[in-house]
Amino acid sequence: MSQHHEHQAHSNHDHHSQSHGAHAHGEHGPVVHAPSGAALADYQRAYEQAEPEPGGTVVRVDLEAREIDWEFVPGRTTRVWAFNGQVPGPSIDARVGDVLEVRLTNRLSEPTTLHWHGLRLPAAMDGTDMVQHPILPGETFTYRFKLLDAGTFWYHTHSNEPVQLERGLYGALAVRAAEEPVFDRERVLVLSDVTLDGSGQIAASDDGRERRGGREGNVRLVNGTSEPELMMWGGQVERWRIINAASSRYMRVSIGRRPFRVLGTGGGMLDAPTTTRDVLLTPGDRIDVAVGPFEPGEVISVLSEPYDRGMGERSAELFATVRIGPAAPSHCSVLDWPREIAPLAERDAAPTREVAFSERIDVHGGVTFLINGEQHYRADPVTVGELQVWDIVNASSMDHPFHLHGFFFQVLERNGTPPAYRSWEDTVNVPAGGRVRIAWVADDRPGEWMYHCHILEHHAAGMMGHFAVVRRGNDDDASGRSTA
């Protein structure tokens, strides 16, 4: 066993004696969950069982989180928190069947953890405070798991999220299948925003004003730079993996207001690519698109088109400008890359549970964000292999993006209408006053999991549910651990 592992085991053990408070239901302030006493053993087992498939490899990445100076706006320096000195952190690239081993060292002034958004990994590697103690300043923790699915994923801090993500603790992860369509170029565009004050520093958060809808920054970012200019050759077709890493900003992405091809979403390729002029990308969500070809000399704006998520409609917003250079030869392969996705359930399948998003004004005039009437809702266990049909109901007056950790679902219908294509998703928008029906089946990865609104301020304020995935016959074992 590697040193990394022993170091982890040691540091985890050191902090076993910390008594983190139990769930402080109905109170303001951060709710600290705590891993069970068996979490360390679960972690060790998951670590040891992560072996690459034949032909695969172990992709090792060292991440160091520390404060640095960064230029969101060229020529203007902002103090940020970054992985390896860059915002976003390094883009990780790997293949299905590889093992990803990420050793994270925390050089920040506060604890952190790392969540692997969209990945089907063992619960112990999910990076939440349900499954691990936070990584304290000075400590190192190693995440190690096998990559099971091709797609566009991302990693981000799962501690003090409204602060730590804005400061820069996020990055992209592309996982490739053995065979993929060929494009002239591939780019990852991590879209986000920050709120800078007059001196160019990240503004202190203003609870009262920002809390209800979540923070929307005054500087829009692509890969850590404000409204950059990109360059693309004429006549070429590129594959763009687009990630919305913002705290709360919805992006209705359009590319020069031209039609473009959507190849995939959060859970990889669609059953059949579809052509559109814009795609709504909520916080946490991703799309994989084919862009171009364009004529030499064209100037293409990457925009977020107007959209009202219940906070009033904003005008179109620029994220990046693409200048089209001289024509170059194209080696792009077939754009149609269908994938078989068997439906899990019919649209009219009877829901097995309801997840209700709501908000409530409390006595002090603040707003509380709830799941099924509670903050940090404890949901019933989910049994491995049993079909889940969940109706996600939004009783509030603004949209909320529902994100399920660790498992993909299919959208059966949204406000009574089936989606335009079949796909696997981990994040879906639930419109204000609306209802989305999803279906999913837990594969054999028992443990503690969660779902939440991916508006970070709402998640932090309690709009989340946590539940155990248990093996059949183990339903009363709330830890979800098998005795086998």
Whole-angstrom Cα distance, residue 194 to residue 219?
A: 5
The only residue of 115, 211, 376, 400 in contact with Cu ion, by rule CB under 5 A:
400
Nearer to Cu ion, 188 or 456 (CB): 456
**How does 113-139 read in b/e, with b if 16+ C-beta sit within 10 Å?**
bbbbbbbbbbbbbbbbbbbbbbbbeeb
Q: Is residue 455 part of the contact set for Cu ion (CB under 5 A)? A: yes
Cβ 285 to Cu ion shortest distance, Å: 13
Query: By the 8 A CB rule, do 171 and 83 touch?
Result: yes
List Cα–Cα distances, 368 to 23, 31, 309, 311, 429, in angstroms: 16, 13, 18, 17, 20
Q: Is residue 403 part of the contact set for Cu ion (CB under 5 A)? A: no
Nearer to ligand C2O, 384 or 455 (CB): 455
Cβ 372 to Cu ion shortest distance, Å: 14
**Which of ligand C2O, Cu ion, none does residue 400 bind to, with CB < 5 to 8 Å depending on kind?**
Cu ion
**Which of Cu ion, ligand C2O, none does residue 213 bind to, with CB < 5 to 8 Å depending on kind?**
none
Side-chain-side CA neighbours of 334 within 13 Å: the count stands at 7
Q: Is residue 163 part of the contact set for Cu ion (CB under 5 A)? A: no
Nearer to Cu ion, 320 or 455 (CB): 455
Nearer to ligand C2O, 128 or 423 (CB): 128
Nearer to Cu ion, 42 or 426 (CB): 426
Classify residue 169 by burial, with Cβ atoms within 10 Å: 0-12, 13-18, 19+: buried
Q: Is residue 458 part of the contact set for Cu ion (CB under 5 A)? A: yes
Which amino acid does the sequence have at 198? Answer: G
Residue position matching structure tokens 């769930």 = 23
> Contact residues for ligand C2O (CB under 6 A)?
115, 117, 156, 158, 284, 403, 405, 452, 454
- Residue 14: other Cβ atoms inside 10 A: 12
Cβ 168 to ligand C2O shortest distance, Å: 15
**Which of ligand C2O, Cu ion, none does residue 445 bind to, with CB < 5 to 8 Å depending on kind?**
none
Cβ 405 to ligand C2O shortest distance, Å: 6
Using the contact rule CB under 5 A, the part of the chain among 236-244, 256-264, 343-351, 397-405 near Cu ion is: 397-405
Q: Is residue 453 part of the contact set for Cu ion (CB under 5 A)? A: yes
**Which of ligand C2O, Cu ion, none does residue 103 bind to, with CB < 5 to 8 Å depending on kind?**
none
Which pairing describes strands 260-265 and 286-291: parallel, antiparallel, or unpaired?
antiparallel
**Which of Cu ion, ligand C2O, none does residue 249 bind to, with CB < 5 to 8 Å depending on kind?**
none
Cβ 161 to ligand C2O shortest distance, Å: 8
Q: Is residue 144 part of the contact set for Cu ion (CB under 5 A)? A: no
Residue position matching structure tokens 């087992």 = 45
Nearer to ligand C2O, 117 or 471 (CB): 117
* Of 229, 221, 372, nearest in space to 300 by CA: 229
Whole-angstrom Cα distance, residue 407 to residue 296?
A: 43
What is the SS3 assignment for 210? helix
Nearer to ligand C2O, 300 or 428 (CB): 428
Whole-angstrom Cα distance, residue 273 to residue 294?
A: 20
Site for Cu ion in 168-207 (CB under 5 A): none
Nearer to ligand C2O, 165 or 341 (CB): 165
What is the SS3 assignment for 305? coil
Element (H, E) at 11: helix 3-14
Q: Is residue 309 part of the contact set for Cu ion (CB under 5 A)? A: no
Whole-angstrom Cα distance, residue 390 to residue 353?
A: 5
Residues in contact with Cu ion, total (CB under 5 A)?
Answer: 4
Whole-angstrom Cα distance, residue 157 to residue 166?
A: 10
* Of 14, 11, 6, 154, nearest in space to 93 by CA: 154
Whole-angstrom Cα distance, residue 479 to residue 21?
A: 18
**Which of Cu ion, ligand C2O, none does residue 403 bind to, with CB < 5 to 8 Å depending on kind?**
ligand C2O
**Which of ligand C2O, Cu ion, none does residue 115 bind to, with CB < 5 to 8 Å depending on kind?**
ligand C2O
DSSP for 287-299, written as a single string:
EEEEE----TT-E
* Of 370, 244, 396, nearest in space to 310 by CA: 396
Nearer to ligand C2O, 376 or 452 (CB): 452
Q: Which residues contact Cu ion (rule: CB under 5 A)?
A: 400, 453, 455, 458
